[in-house]
Amino acid sequence: MMPATVTERPDSQISAPAMPPRREIPRPVPPPTGGNGLFLLALLLSALAMCGSLGLVIRSRGAILARDIGSLPWLPSKEALFGVRIDALSCLMLLAVTVCGFLIILYSGAFMSRSNREHPSDKGQGRYYFFMVLFVAAMIGLVCSPNLFQLFIFWELTTLCSWGLISFYGDHTALVSGYKALLMTYAAGLFLLAAVILVYINTGSFAFNAINLLAPSTKTLVIVFMAIAAFGKAAQFPLQTWLPSAMTAPTPATAYLHAAAMVKAGIYLMARLVLTVAVFPPKLALLFSAMAIVTMYVGVLQYAVQDDLKRLLAYSTIANLGYMMLGLALGALGSPIALRGGLLHLIGHAFTKSLLFLAVGAVSYAAGTRSIAQLSGLGKRMPVTALAFVIGAMAISGVPPFNLFWSKFLIVAGAIQLNTGWGVALAVLVLAESVIGFACFLRVVHKVFLGPVSEAADAAQDPPAGMLTALIVLMALALFSTLFSLPLIGRIVQGAS
């Protein structure tokens, strides 16, 4: 149960209401950790997933690959209920999900150990790798779903995994945050269920393009419900509050959930909607674009008051998801350039935000704290990590030649392409938000990584090889990801029009 009164304080200071004292439920003693073995198994599985996905992406070249698996006898439908369907959008998501998954699991091997100065423990690795690998599997299942039914099943599976990872450390704050995230995303998921049921009842099929067969009022209702689910999962306004609290998860898990995978599931759903629905109601698209820009500002205005590096990145994620939603909404309003921009931002942000989160993880690993006030001059002690964070900060602010510049350019160009006053207003607002975000990130870079070396930063050094490899690969991806994503996105938009 959630406490009654709270302010924008870190969740650790949330006070419980007057209730009978909590009994400490004795935890079962965990079995001796075969940490290394588990890590290697998880690494192998995620590597297989990555290679498999890369192979599939290269083989399919954006065409549709589909295979049916089966149905349920008590749920008649026009097509098979379970199957695999990979099209260009799935390929894009697969790239983001599996590559980030592999790198993050590689990173976790060194992070979840006793040398971690922030959380020096290697207990519970079985639970951790179970949820992480299950999560990779759930995301792959989600993006390869042929119809809404299977999509919903994997959607709920990701909600479950997210709960497991957010509340991993088991202290009160983590449990509260995990529960909050579960409730909010699950409640939003119920709207998805309602939408899926509506589609099935009215058309007898779970296929994505069955939405086009609905009557206009039902179609609007279904789109609104799906949008609510997507907004909940992707932490958009007004359902954004679970994401900053979810920073209690271990940092690589946060990188995966909240940069690369889970929040992108919401964007994936919206992208499917925008690409499949033939006649998207323009008023809804306008509403979504307005909510996207509000989300962006809700995110960016909170940057300046944060002391925790991870919370800052959480708000940055909220704002960047707003960019993606804006691109998709503008695409629905009739601007293919903005649609490309939104999708390019999706994959670019996956790599860039993972880079930022992993850099912050390295900082907390080495220095034991994530507080901006206590850290200073880290660049002198951890040069590679500092470079990683600076590159991430430049990329996320849209500075060329990094990847998010291209997507921001496309989104603003798409807004102008609409030829309306609202489009111009959006363009100016997006550019203003970009400048504000850039200023805040630059300030944080100067405070934390440059300047005189503070006490907390003095003992820090660059993290071990596993973590460093992940950072270096992600730095390269932050620079080069546009090269391979743009052709794929061209295929996606071509296929839809």
Partner 1 sequence: MNAAEIFIVVMSLLGLTSLLSLLCGSQRILAGVLNFIGILLASAGMLSLAVRALVHGPVQFSFGTVRVLGLNSQLAFSIDALGAVFIAIITVLSTASSLYSIRYLTHYTHEDPRRYYFPFPLFVGGMLAVVACSDWFWFLVFWEVMTLASYFLVMFENVEQENLSAGFIYFFMTQMTSMGLMLGVILVGHWGGSTSFTAMPALFHRLALNSPLGLNVLLFLFFIAFATKAGMYPLGVWLPLAHPAAPASVSALLSGVMIKLGVYGLLRIFVWQLPMGSAMKHWGVLIATFGVISMLMGTLRALGEHDCKRLLAQHSIGQMGYMLLGLGLGMALMQSNPLFAIVALVGCLYHVINHACFKSLLFFNSGAILYRTGTRDLDSLGGLVKMMPVSAACAIVGSLSIAGTPPFNGFASKWLLYQSAIFGSPKMPLYLFYGVIAIFIGTVTLASFVKYLGTAYLGTLPDRFANQPKGCPFSMECVESSLAAACILLGLAPGAVVAVLLNALRPVVEAANLTSTAGALAALPWAGISLQWNGRTSAAVAPAIVLGGLALCVGIGYWIHNAVSVSSRRAEIWNCGELVADERIRYRASSFYQPFKKMFSPVYRKVKLPSISVPSAVIRAFDFDRWIYYPVSAAFSRLSVGCSRLHNGIPQMYLLWQVLGCALSIGLVFWLMGGVK
Q: How far apart are CB 340 and partner 1 at their closest, in Å?
A: 7
Which stretch, 95-103, 114-122, 199-207, 395-403, contacts partner 1 (CB under 8 A)? 395-403
Per CB under 8 A, does 134 bind partner 1? no
Q: Say whether residue 240 binds partner 1 (CB under 8 A).
A: yes
Distance CA 414, CA 418 (A): 7
Q: Which is nearer to partner 1, 316 or 397 (CB)?
A: 397
Nearest to 378 by CA among 359, 356, 400, 402: 359
Q: How far is the CB of 413 from partner 1 (least distance, A)?
A: 5
Distance between CA atoms of residues 81 and 8, nearest Å: 45
- Binding mask 313-352 vs partner 1 (x if CB under 8 A, - otherwise)? -----------------------xx--x------------
**Cα angle, residue 211 at apex, residues 276 and 191 outer, rounded to 5°:** 105
Residues 6 or more apart from 305 whose CB is under 8 A from it?
none
Token readout for 99 is 């590559």
d(CA 134, CA 136): 5
Question: Is there a contact between 126 and 33 (Cβ–Cβ < 8 Å)?
Answer: yes
In the set 160, 175, 221, 301, which binds partner 1 (CB under 8 A)?
301
In the set 185, 289, 417, 481, which binds partner 1 (CB under 8 A)? 417
8 belongs to the binding site for partner 1 (CB under 8 A): yes
Who contacts 220 (Cβ-Cβ below 8 Å, separation ≥6)? 281, 284
Question: In this complex, which beta carbon is closest to partner 1, that of residue 81 or of residue 318?
Answer: 318
Q: How far is the CB of 282 from partner 1 (least distance, A)?
A: 21
Residue 480 within binding range of partner 1, rule CB under 8 A: no
Span of 51-59, 110-118, 321-329, 431-439 interacting with partner 1 by CB under 8 A: 431-439
Instruction: Report the alpha-carbon distance of residue 260 to residue 242 in Å, rounded.
Output: 17
Contact status, residue 363 vs residue 355, Cβ threshold 8 Å: no
For residues 290 and 416, which CB has a smaller minimum distance to partner 1 in the complex?
Answer: 416
Q: Contact between 383 and partner 1 (CB under 8 A)? A: yes
Structure tokens that stand for 450 in this block = 């440059």
Q: How far, in Å, are 58, 86, 99, 283 from residue 92 at the CA level?
A: 11, 10, 11, 28
Q: Cis check for the bond before 401: say yes or no (omega within 30 of 0).
A: yes
Q: Least distance (Å) from partner 1 to the CB of residue 440?
A: 9
Non-local (6+) Cβ contacts of 13 within 8 A are none
The footprint of partner 1 on residues 11-50 (CB under 8 A) is 17
Give me the torsion for CA of 403, 408, 410, 414, rounded to 10°: 160
Question: Of residues 438-457, which lie at the interface with partner 1 (CB under 8 A)?
Answer: 438-439, 442-443, 446, 450-452
Distance CA 356, CA 367 (A): 16
CB 357 → partner 1: shortest distance, Å? 22
427 near partner 1, rule: CB under 8 A: yes
Please give the DSSP secondary-structure letter assigned to residue 279. S
CB atoms within 10 A of CB 438: 17
User: Shortest gap between Cβ of 35 and partner 1 (angstroms)?
Assistant: 34
Q: Contact with partner 1 (CB under 8 A): which of 298, 372, 384, 429?
A: 298
- Answer for which of 238, 458, 476, 483 binds partner 1 (CB under 8 A) is 238
Q: Work out which of 10, 126, 281, 490 binds partner 1, going by CB under 8 A.
A: 490
Is residue 221 a contact residue for partner 1 (CB under 8 A)?
Answer: no
Q: Contact region for partner 1 (CB under 8 A) — 67-75, 360-368, 375-383, 473-481?
A: 375-383
Closest CA to 151 of 236, 226, 101, 91: 226
Residue 112 one-letter amino acid: M
Strand partners, 207: 147
Contact residues: partner 1, CB under 8 A: 1-8, 17, 180, 183-184, 238, 240-241, 298, 301-302, 304-305, 336-337, 340, 377, 379, 383, 394, 397, 399-401, 405-406, 409-410, 412-413, 416-417, 427-428, 431-432, 434-436, 438-439, 442-443, 446, 450-452, 486-487, 490
